[in-house]
Amino acid sequence: MPNHGYIISRRAFTAGAIASAAGASHALAQTITTPSPIGPFFPAHYRGETDADLTRIGMSAERAQGQVIEVMGRVLDRHGNPVSGARLDIWQANHFGKYAHPQDTSDLPLDPNFQGFARINTGADGSWKLTTIKPGAYGDGGGQRTPHIHMDVSGSSARNIYQMYFPEEAEANARDGLYRRLGNGAPTSLANALGDYRYSWDIVLIEG
């Protein structure tokens, strides 16, 4: 194979990036985001609103309880090229750590103003943006989950499930079994805090 002059970062290489990259690209190689299990609360039968603001249902004047946050990022291929038109199915617990899902049998309260699911598409530059509530932790004993947002991301040829974690939750993250299972891939699932309750998180697909 001819040398196309790619710069493959050591992190990307050790993360199992496909080094035999074919096709021209001028962008730097990216560390592929480590997938996570789908978990029990994927809203397969959801019939409600799917817009990018989870904090409000319809034209309601009432907003969901908890801290409003903005999460934005891009979907990229492993060369760093934006993936336009990628689909993100996003679901999460509410402020109290409760999913509006029949499998969630906890006593934590539902929030009638919390949407709980969004389906959004990336723009031409691969960008996406979500307005939501910071999810609560949930579970007990050994099954405690640190706050996280689930995403099912479909590019043109790759589909994977991820969980996004919060950098200010370092202690709870360190106790979370699924977070720990990410191993060296954990940093790829950690959002960046931009301040003012805004976060950024880029998702790098194995194939765009």
Q: Could you say whether residue 136 binds Fe ion (CB under 5 A)?
A: no
When the beta carbons of 39 and 136 are compared against Fe ion, the nearer one is: 39
The stretch among 34-42, 126-134, 179-187, 195-203 that binds Fe ion (CB under 5 A) is: 34-42
When the beta carbons of 66 and 80 are compared against Fe ion, the nearer one is: 66
Q: Could you say whether residue 39 binds Fe ion (CB under 5 A)?
A: yes
Q: Could you say whether residue 80 binds Fe ion (CB under 5 A)?
A: no
How many C-beta atoms lie closer than 10 Å to residue 60's C-beta?
Answer: 11
Which contiguous run of DSSP H or E holds residue 12? helix 10-14
> Phi and psi at residue 50, in whole multiples of 5°?
-130, 15
∠ CA 49-54-55, rounded to 5°: 120
CB of 11 to Fe ion, least distance (A): 27
Residues contacting 148, CB < 8 A, separation 6+: 92, 135, 163, 164, 165, 166, 176, 179
Report how far apart, in Å, the C-alpha atoms of 13 and of each of 16, 34, 181, 207 are.
5, 13, 19, 15
For Fe ion (CB under 5 A), the number of binding residues is: 1
- Name residue, tokens 């319809």: 58
Q: What DSSP state is assigned to residue 168?
A: G
The stretch among 19-27, 33-41, 53-61, 75-83 that binds Fe ion (CB under 5 A) is: 33-41
When the beta carbons of 5 and 40 are compared against Fe ion, the nearer one is: 40
When the beta carbons of 39 and 123 are compared against Fe ion, the nearer one is: 39
When the beta carbons of 123 and 185 are compared against Fe ion, the nearer one is: 185
The stretch among 35-43, 44-52, 68-76, 100-108 that binds Fe ion (CB under 5 A) is: 35-43
CB of 103 to Fe ion, least distance (A): 11
Residues that bind Fe ion (CB under 5 A): 39
